[in-house]
A and B are shown apart, each in its own frame.
Chain A
Amino acid sequence: MLAFLARRLLIAVPTIFFVSIIIFGLQQLLPGDPALALAGEDRDPNVIAYFHKKYHLDKPFPVRYLYWIDDAAHGDLGQSLRNQMPVGALVLQKLPVTLELGAVAFLIALLIGIPSGILSAVKAGTALDYAANLFALWGLSTPNFWLGIMLILLVSVDLGWLPASGFVPPTENLAENLRTIIMPAFVLGNAVAAVIMRHTRSAMLQVLNSDYVRTARAKGLSERTVVLHHSLRNALIPVITLGALEFGQLLSGAVLTEQVFTIPGFGKLIVDAVFNRDYAVVQGVVLVTATIYILLNICADFAYFLVNPRLRS
């Protein structure tokens, strides 16, 4: 098992290196001179020239890449061009926010998705199944930003139950933290809940029709034991794979959600950085995100081991 893990980690290294080249290359395709975007309204030529020199913008692409990757390999992701804060510090400041948002959203997605998936599989063809499917279709087809604005108008402006936007760190005030995070997490988790529900349903249907389940039933086990103990465990394997991928999706979905709810997380960091042509931040954030994504997939592989004894041999 250790050999397997080591192999996966080794493959990750060249992958991340390759990703870094793509990130850097794609960024160069962004039109617009960052020095101009940085120079502010007055666009003083001396200031523009100063930025060109300071951020090596006057050097050719490969040279700039080497400067960056050299620093990044030493743990220095550079400095935000806009507010001079170190990118590493910004990432550390914003990442927990998005991870919390993602985790709560994921939890909401699981809490809605798995039970409704099981229910609609067990009660396949009934009104309950159709209702669950309808809910899934709604979740999949509702855009994040629209649902976000609608919820703000309903829950915050009209009912006054929750703050409209913003974020309070859990270390500062846990109750306020939950109040600020619950609405965006629901918006974000909503679509994922739908995907998980659909996959749980189809996996469950498959398992429920398999021979060993029939055997279990024939043994006279209660339906509850058959469904939750014998079937669910096997049905969950594809759902876990999907879960890991969907968690990555959640992180990218957070880009929009954070924008709507003004949550100072990773997504907001990158969107603002793109508009301000804050190259150092864009590169740093995308590199970290890609690394997380790769690591999550390794975690998913590892999770199969724990769930499926056959893979362990």
Chain B
Amino acid sequence: MKWITRIAMAAVLAAALASGTSAKTLRIGLAEDPDLLDPTLARTFVGRIVFASLCDKLFDISPDLKVVPQLATGYEWSADNKALTLKLRQGVVFQDGEPFNAEAVKFSIERHLTLQGSTRKSEINAIQSIDVLDERTVRLNLAKPFAPLLAALTDRAGMIVSPKAAKEEGKDFALHPVCAGPFKFVERVAQDRIVLEKFDKYWNKDNVHIDRIEYRPIIDNAVRVANLQSGSLDLIERVAPTDLPALRKDPKLQTAEISSLAYQGITINIANGPKAQNPLGQDPRVREAFDLAIDRGAIPQVVFNGEFTPGNQWDPVGNPYYVKEFPVHARNLEKAKALLKEAGHPDLVVNLMVPTTQEDQQGAQVLQAMVKEAGIDMRIQSVEFATSLDRAHRGDFEAWYIGWSGRTDPDGNLYSFVACKAPLNDGNYCNPEVDKALEESRSTNDPAARYQAYKKAAEILIEKDRPIIYLFQRKWIYGMTKALAGFTPYPDGLVRVVGVDLK
């Protein structure tokens, strides 16, 4: 009898749920589980995908990397480039009904700058003070000109949170975030799902066609793909290039892709502790030989089915700041061998630290085979990712196979990695000439002048010192159901749900 009651109850429940599913739910498969859902404290790329629906920013980027209005409708630099005045959008409210205004912008930016553990501080610490000029106008005063600021405001540093909610929730804001984005937070089950639902007072609500979003972290590529194929998900991000042919063949599915700002490279230990004392770390001729021994087309071709593109700089080929004067060079084994001989290391041994992911290991193996032909004995040290971070930080490496997820402004892809004593400069590379060029690029808002500054840096970094040997640029690849319409991929890899519909 009990059984019958249970079955009947389950049937009723299933029927109730089935009838309730007329609301459009978009199920997105993420490649990782996001960290804290607080724009000030958030640290991961995958978290930014969720923020794209949860928290609007002062500015956004267009698919061709131009700064476009979002919560701010316009901006103006002062003549000395030391003040940025922002005009704010009218009629915007936060998801808790609080008004969005100049005070809220001031509050959020000050929170980014002062909250303990803030990961935004380093992105915008050029801001010295904030003036509220009127309800819709705010001025950011800088200590010195800082061109990358605008790009920072197109990302998490530009996200404005509800001051009331942030004050009330305090430390727990990440557990119940309140912003001014198109979808509001409903619930989060760690490692299982994050659920958002349409915010009916969103300023651009006419372009929101989805009622509910479920983000589901599924780390394993094959399982993420299987979920898409079986209809359990509507869209998945970071599809492996090797899975693309199967998705393209599936009549129920479609794919989208775009060149990313993410690069893969080899960081060389130039001066971080005793491990730097080896020919690769000490002799630029040896690094040049290593560089010349690489066929840059081979890794994307062999490991990534030709989907990724060869690269030799921090920005991808075709980016406005890609320094065209230094294109990807051809492989030159003869010159590589000659340089090694000249440097006195014809039988060079290089230890390359490689994270244990399958694609990193394969990439390193291709590299190993290529440089072998120049007489370089490259040994792969497989190290679990978090451990490799620690070893790199301590200088316990000779060379490190590592990538970067990419930022809109070139400064975000370069400064922290090569400026003297910068936080991501694990090889401890330091060249005052490069620092000078990088400071120049930061101090002007004129794209042509910035390009010239990057050209100066590239001449040293790409052609002489080579503290990082850049290898290839990734692509963001998405798989989705054919029922999905209006999805546009962006170079930053985020999934923007405004404009997307499920038929």
Contacts and interface: CB of A to CB of B under 8 A. Distances in A.
B223 A152 contact: yes
A36 B190 contact: no
Contact of B389 (A32, A54, A153): A32
Interface string B385-404: 11101110100000000001
B44 A41 contact: yes
B117 A262 contact: no
A273 B416 CA distance: 28
A85 B35 CA distance: 11
Interface stretch (B7-15, B130-138, B158-166, B480-488): B7-15
Given A54-B117, A83-B35, A174-B10, A43 B386 contact: no
Given A43-B424, A90-B190, A33 B390 contact: yes
A149 B223 contact: yes
Contacts of A276: 386
A83 B175 CA distance: 8
Interface string A251-267: 00000000111101000
A83 B220 contact: no
A62 interface: no
A269 B119 contact: no
B232 A163 contact: yes
Nearest to A167: B192
B329 interface: no
A234 interface: no
A84 B14 contact: no
B46 to A, nearest CB: 11
Interface string A41-71: 1111111001100100000000000000000
A143 interface: no
Contacts of B141: none
Contacts of B287: none
A133 interface: no
Interface in A153-183: 153, 156-157, 160, 163-167, 173-176
B189 A93 contact: yes
B393 A36 contact: yes
B6 interface: yes
B216 A38 contact: no
Q: What is the size category of the interface that chain A forms with chain B?
A: 35 or more
Interface of A: 31-33, 36-47, 50-51, 54, 80, 82-85, 90, 93, 149, 152-153, 156-157, 160, 163-167, 173-176, 259-262, 264, 268-269, 272, 275-277
Contacts of A43: 389, 393, 423-424
A268 B424 contact: no
B501 interface: no
Contacts of A54: 117
B10 A44 contact: no
Contacts of B121: 44, 46
A262 B189 CA distance: 13
Q: Which of A36, A163, A262 has the most CB of B within 10 A?
A: A262
Contacts of A165: 218, 223, 226-227, 232
Contacts of B43: 38-42
Interface in B1-41: 6, 9-11, 13-14, 17, 33, 35-36
Interface in B180-211: 189-192
B33 A272 contact: yes
B159 to A, nearest CB: 16
Contact of B13 (A83, A157, A174): A174
Q: Which of B44, B45, B118, B223 has the most CB of A within 10 A?
A: B223
A33 B386 CA distance: 8
The 7 A-B residue pairs with the shortest CB-CB distance, nearest first, are A40-B43, A264-B192, A156-B230, A32-B390, A32-B386, A31-B387, A37-B386
7 contacts: A36-B386, A50-B116, A51-B117, A83-B36, A149-B223, A152-B230, A175-B13
